[in-house]
Amino acid sequence: MKSNLIFSGVVALIVSLSSIGIYAYHSNHHKVVKVEHIASTPSTAAVYTLNENGDPIPLDFNEPAKKVIDGVVHIKSTHLYSGNSRNFQFRNAPTPFRDFFGDNFQDFFRPNLPNNRSQTRPYTEKMPSRVGTGSGVIISEDGYIVTNNHVIAEADDIEVTLYDNRTYKARVIGTDPSTDLALLQIKETGLPIVPLVNSDDTNIGQWVLAVGNPMGLNSTVTAGIISAKGRNINILKDKYAVEDFIQTDAAINPGNSGGALVNLQGGLVGINTAIASTTGSFSGYGFAVPANIVNKVVEDLIEYGSVQRGVLGVMIRNVDSKIAKEKNLSVSKGVYVDSLMEGSAAGKAGLKIGDVILAVNEQTVNSSSALQGMIARYRPGETVKLKVNRAAKELVLEVVLHNRAGNLDLGSSDKPAIIKTLGVDLEELEPQMARDLDIKSGVLVKKIFAGKLRKYTQMRDGFVITKINGKSVSTVEDLIEKIEKSEGGIMLEGVYTDIPGTYYYAFGL
C-alpha cells in the first residue's frame, strides 16, 4: 500500500512537471494576447471648481458649450479687386463716365499709352476677388453681430452663416479700428444670443472657452484659462489704438477672429482677436478684446454711428523699479505721467507731470494699456475719478474727459448721402501736411469702406484729393458740392502722403 502511494506521488510529480514544461514551451513560441472588458464603471470622479459665491461646483464644459455655440456665427467676407494697374483704373468705368469724357477718356489716366481700345479689357469682365473667413457673436435677437474689424475690412460682400446653416447677407453698422471691432446686422429676429458679462470681474486662472470657426472647422470649442489681463501686444496699427487684451491659453487659430471667449456660465468675456505665434498657428497665447470695451463700442456705433471716446490728454508709461528709482517715486506700480497736452482734460483737473495714476473710479490700474482700456469706456463730457500718488501722498482728481479735438462735443452719425455712396471718411488737410506735400490744399481720405471708390477704383487710405474734374478742392464741403453738381463721370486727382507722383481715379455716378 505504501509503495502504491509513493508510485502515485511520483507519477503526479512527473505529470505536473511535464505540464509546466509544455506551457513554458508554448509561452516561448506563441504570443498570448489578453483582452479585458469592463462591464461597468466602478466609480465616478469629478473635477470641481468654485462659483462666484465660493461654492464647489463640478467643472463641466458641456453646458456652457451648449449655451454659446448657437450664438457664434461663421463670416465670409469677399473683396472684389477692381483691376491690376497700381496707379490707374479705368477698365471698370461705367458707361456714363465714358459718355462724360468721350471715346478717348483713357488718355486722361494713361497718357503714355496710345489711344488704342485693344489696350483695355472688356467692361463686362468678371473681377477677381479675395475671400476671407472669420467668426462673429450674436449679441441681440434682432440680428446685431460683433466681430473683428480685420475680418470684414475692405469687404464688398459679407455673408453670415448661423450654426443651423441658415445664411444671410450682412450690412456693416460701424467699425472701430482702434479696438479692431466691427458691428454687423442681418435681417432676422428671434436669434440665439451670447450675453455680455462684466469683464472686470474675470480673474487670472479662471476657466474660459473659445468658440469660433478655426481653419475652416465650423463651430469649434476649446478650453483654457485666463492667463493674463491688460496685455498690450502692439498689433493694432491705428493711431489711437487701444490694446487692453485678455490673454488666454484656450486654443485660438486663424478663423477664430471675431469669435467668443466665454466663462463657464456662458457669458461673453471677450472677442477673440489675435494670437502670438511665430508660425501663424496657435502656440499657447491668444488675446481677446474685453467685453466691457465691446459693450461701449457697440452702444456708440448703434447710437452715434461712430465711437465716442473720451481722452485724458496725457503721455504715459508703466511704473517699474527702474522708473521708481530714477524718479524717486514712493510706489513701484501704476502709470507715470510723462507729459500733458496743451489744454488737456487731465491738466484742467489738476493732474501734473510726475504724478502716478493708481486707479480709475476705484479700480486699480497697473499698466498703460489697462489705463487706456478703462478710459476708452467713457465718452467726452463724462467724469472719471483718478486716484493719484504725488510726492508720496495720495489724492483723488475728478476729470471731465475731452474728445480728441479737445472739447466736449460728441460726433454725429449723420453723413451726407454722397459720402455714404463713395464709402469714405474724409477730413480737411492740415496746413503743415499740405506744405510737406507741396500742394495748396486738399481733402484727406482717412478710410475707405464699401462704396463706389472701392468698387471702381484702387484708391487706398491716405490719398489726398486735390482736384475734382480739374477743379481744386480745399474742404470737405467743397468736395461734396462739386461732386453733387457733377453729371456723369467723376475724375479725382491727387497725391499720396507716402508715395511720390500724381494719381487719378475715375468712376461714374
402 carries an active-site annotation? no
The answer to whether the Cα torsion of 105, 106, 112, 117 is positive or negative is negative
Q: Reduced to 3 states, what is the DSSP secondary structure of residue 203?
A: coil
Distance CA 285, CA 486 (A): 53
Q: Which residue has the cell 464709402?
A: 423
Q: Contact 343/312 with Cβ under 8 angstroms?
A: no
> With the C-alpha atoms ordered 463, 465, 466, 467, is the resulting torsion angle positive or negative?
positive
Cβ neighbors of 164 (< 8 A, separation 6 or more) are 70
The C-alpha atoms of residue 105 and residue 99 are separated, in whole angstroms, by 9
C-alpha cell at 431: 496746413
Q: Which of 257, 344, 368, 369 does the annotation list as catalytic?
A: 257
Q: Which of 180, 244, 249, 300 is catalytic?
A: 180
In order of 50, 258, 455, 508, the CA distances from 81 in angstroms are: 53, 24, 8, 17
Task: Take residue 317 and report the three cell numbers written for it.
Answer: 508709461
Catalytic annotation present for 8: no
* Nearest alpha carbon to residue 247 among 207, 199, 197, 286: 286
Beta bridge mates, 468: 471, 492
What is the secondary structure of 229-240 as a DSSP string? Answer: EEE------STT
* Structural contact between residues 410 and 380, judged by C-beta atoms closer than 8 angstroms: yes
Q: What type of residue is 486?
A: S
Which of 150, 156, 199, 367 does the annotation list as catalytic?
150
| Cα distance from N-terminal residue to C-terminal residue, the chain | 126
Nearby residues of 219 by Cβ (< 8 Å), 6 or more positions away? 69, 72, 163, 211, 213
Cross-strand bridge partners of residue 78 = 131, 157
For residue 219, indicate whether it is catalytic: no
- How many Å apart are CA 445 and CA 433, to the nearest integer? 13
Positions marked catalytic = 150, 180, 257
